[in-house]
Structure 1
Amino acid sequence: MDIVLLLFLSSLLPGICTYAVPRKDPTLRFVALGDWGGLPLPPYTTRQQELVAEEMGKTVAKLGADFILSLGDNFYYDGVTDVSDPRFKITFESVYSSESLIKHPWYILAGNHDHKGNVSAQIAYTNVSTRWNYPDYYYDLAFTIPGSNVTVRLLMLDTVQLCGISDDFHDGQPRGPNNLKMAGTQLEWLEEKLQSAKENYLLVAGHYPVWSVAEHGPTQCLIHTVEPLLKKYGVTAYLCGHEHNMQYLQDDQGIGYILSGAGNFMENSRIHKDDVPKGYLQFFQGDPETMGAFAYIEITPKEMTVTYVQSNGKCLFQTMLYPRTF
């Protein structure tokens, strides 16, 4: 099929995928992956983690990437103890070891399981690893799409500091921040960054989802604190993990909610489907037989293409978002 026709069809029918065709126009590319943190006991990895890592390597080798975005729960189940913890090697360095993944920076944020351990050790690991980039609990990144003057801002949040540790054995909702002052400071920082952002694409990333139909459901804390800011300042997309599946939701303002939490386990429940506004959910995949997936994102001056890629290389879903209008 002619590539122009393919691109036209994909713009009309999300799910017709063009990700296997390398782009020649100016493009910023990255993989978004959450909940990939292996196991605390031998063999220290899951088969799903290994298969997802292998396909990430193949996809990045074929199509390229500027970075990898980690969406938290980097080490199951209780994070790491210190900067010399062997889990850094056996869960991260030794698993994501293909040549294409080694040569690209990883930008890290923490999940609830990371906060059960020593997050400051994960931050300190930035000074040990050549590809692990985690400068602070929350931080911002700025990019220019290569070969253009179009810009992208990515704000990295610590949603556990904002909302607290989730109770997986109760209702899955965070129980409130441990430090109200720190949570307030981060929220003020977020609004200042959003208010001043003039970039063509504005992305926010955190571990907890704003919207989810799955086991944990919408994060009420984020709906009250973060979602109003996403709407007020015209954010392009919010990226997250936490739920062990893949979801794409889009609100009535056009904000995309990219959930990519299938790096290590799969969970197929849609128990909270009635807690998400009607029409928001556009894609869901939690079938354990898929053995995991990740999101591959390409941003050009004209559009941002989001592709969900299964661990066997199959395209599960594809959709587009567009630059902000001022």
Structure 2
Amino acid sequence: MFPKHYNILIIFLLIIENNYLYGKIISDKFPRFEHPAKSDGSLSIMVVGDWGRRGHYNQSDVAHQMGIIGEKMDLDFIISTGDNFYPEGLINVNDPAFDESFTNVYTASSLQKQWYSVLGNHDYRGDALAQLSPLLNQKDSKWFCLKSYILDAEIAEFFFIDTTPFQDKYFTNPGDEVYDWRGVLPRDKYLSTLLKDLDSALVKSSAKWKIVVGHHTIRSAGIHGNTQELVQKLLPILQANNVDLYINGHDHCLEHISSADSPLQFLTSGGGSKSWRGSYNWPNPKNEMLFYYDGQGFMTMKITQTDVEINFYDILGHVMHQWSASKSLIYAT
């Protein structure tokens, strides 16, 4: 009787109406949503970032391979790591870039799943609130975007966080760029609230796998490198709460970095369109850099109660890097 994602849409509408569109800060908790796992308890997920270029810069070619791999995987949902619409986000909710960069590009039947998205720095250069509007969900039901929220997928919890306001340079040296900071100012309060609520949610989480998703890098060998503000303010919270994976975009590459001092893995999937920047700078221990590819592609995850498997694919659909980890069921709660 109701659309497939009716419950998500209704909650989405209420949150938008009561909080986000009017620039208010939710100061107690992140909004929480649920997405069921498969009947066997597993999850199949695809991750892509930095993609929205109206099909250009090989975006359509990446989307084609995503559709092929997605069909084989029987996807549950897709994660977008931000910079959803270039070069300056959306003008408003009626911006044709939404159809031209999203609906008309990701047309494969396997990709008609819920997309869970965060905002990137380019998204903040337009009408940032437009991407949060339920009107876009009405145009294309697979679209879902909020600044920060929690997705409870049974065996895993995904903590989506708004990383753009952390970077000082967007405030102190924006150049000719204009950012839409509605709902962010005063900045100090916004960031302290976000960090407090994230820490509280992670402490309370009993999920087998804790995964944090943001746009900006924490650690990277790409052109943007490490985001020092996140290293200082966010990383300690992730490590203290035994987060398994931090997933991001921003650097237009595919990348996997391990931690020398914790199980935390840093995964960059920012190869959804324009890439090939020819940058690589990794002065840290070489054994931490498990994979780096300065090209286009995407990432997949298969998650069960005991295992997680990561695959990185190039624009031809070839597996370029694979990694897996296991946990004993004794730790499940």
For residues 65-80 of structure 1, the aligned pairs below 5 Å read 65-80=75-90
Post-superposition Cα deviations, 1:58-114, rounded to whole Å, max 9, x if no partner, equal 111122110000000000110001111111100000000111112x10001000000
Q: Indicate which of 160, 167, 171 corresponds to 1:156.
A: 160
Find the counterpart in structure 2 of residue 226 from structure 1: 234
Q: Is the 8 A contact 2:82 2:250 kept in 1?
A: yes
Aligned mates of 2:120, 2:168 — CA distance in 1: 10
Q: Is the 8 A contact 1:33 1:69 kept in 2?
A: yes
- Give SS of 1:267's match: coil
Q: Indicate which of 75, 100, 107 corresponds to 2:110.
A: 100
Aligned mates of 2:327, 2:93 — CA distance in 1: 39
For residues 6-85 of structure 1, the aligned pairs below 5 Å read 26-38=41-53, 44-85=54-95
Per the TM alignment, residue 128 of structure 1 is displaced from its structure 2 partner at its CA by 3.5
Aligned-pair identity (%): 28
Post-superposition Cα deviations, 1:94-140, rounded to whole Å, max 9, x if no partner, equal 000111112x1000100000000112100102343211012x31000
Per the TM alignment, residue 239 of structure 1 is displaced from its structure 2 partner at its CA by 0.2
Find the counterpart in structure 1 of residue 313 from structure 2: 309
Question: Does residue 322 of the first structure (1) align with residue 326 of the second (2)?
Answer: yes
Q: Indicate which of 271, 275, 280 corresponds to 1:262.
A: 271
Question: Does residue 118 of the first structure (1) align with residue 133 of the second (2)?
Answer: no
- Give SS of 2:193's match: helix
Q: Is the 8 A contact 2:157 2:211 kept in 1?
A: yes
Aligned mates of 2:89, 2:287 — CA distance in 1: 36
Q: Is the 8 A contact 1:236 1:323 kept in 2?
A: no
For residues 231-310 of structure 1, the aligned pairs below 5 Å read 231-252=239-260, 253-274=262-283, 276-287=284-295, 292-310=296-314
Post-superposition Cα deviations, 1:16-68, rounded to whole Å, max 9, x if no partner, equal xxxxxxx9964201101010010xxxxx3314101110000011112211000
Q: Is the 8 A contact 2:57 2:274 kept in 1?
A: no
Aligned mates of 2:198, 2:95 — CA distance in 1: 31
Q: Is the 8 A contact 1:297 1:307 kept in 2?
A: yes
- Give SS of 1:89's match: helix
Aligned mates of 1:77, 1:164 — CA distance in 2: 20
- Give SS of 2:323's match: strand
Aligned mates of 2:60, 2:102 — CA distance in 1: 11
Q: Indicate which of 86, 93, 97 corresponds to 1:87.
A: 97
Q: Is the 8 A contact 2:259 2:265 kept in 1?
A: yes
Aligned mates of 1:217, 1:109 — CA distance in 2: 20
- Give SS of 2:239's match: helix
Q: Is the 8 A contact 1:163 1:183 kept in 2?
A: no
Aligned mates of 1:223, 1:169 — CA distance in 2: 21
Q: Indicate which of 219, 237, 240 corresponds to 1:211.
A: 219
> Match for 1:264: what amino acid?
S
TM-score by length of 2: 0.79
Q: Is the 8 A contact 1:256 1:321 kept in 2?
A: no
Aligned mates of 1:48, 1:249 — CA distance in 2: 26
Aligned mates of 2:207, 2:98 — CA distance in 1: 34
Q: Is the 8 A contact 1:70 1:109 kept in 2?
A: yes
TM-score by length of 1: 0.81
Aligned mates of 2:149, 2:167 — CA distance in 1: 17
Query: Gapped runs of 5+ residues in structure 1?
Result: 1-22, 39-43, 145-150, 171-176
Aligned mates of 2:325, 2:109 — CA distance in 1: 30
Query: Gapped runs of 5+ residues in structure 2?
Result: 1-37, 176-183
> Match for 2:42: what amino acid?
T
Aligned mates of 1:30, 1:106 — CA distance in 2: 10
Post-superposition Cα deviations, 1:284-316, rounded to whole Å, max 9, x if no partner, equal 0014xxxx1100110012210000011211100
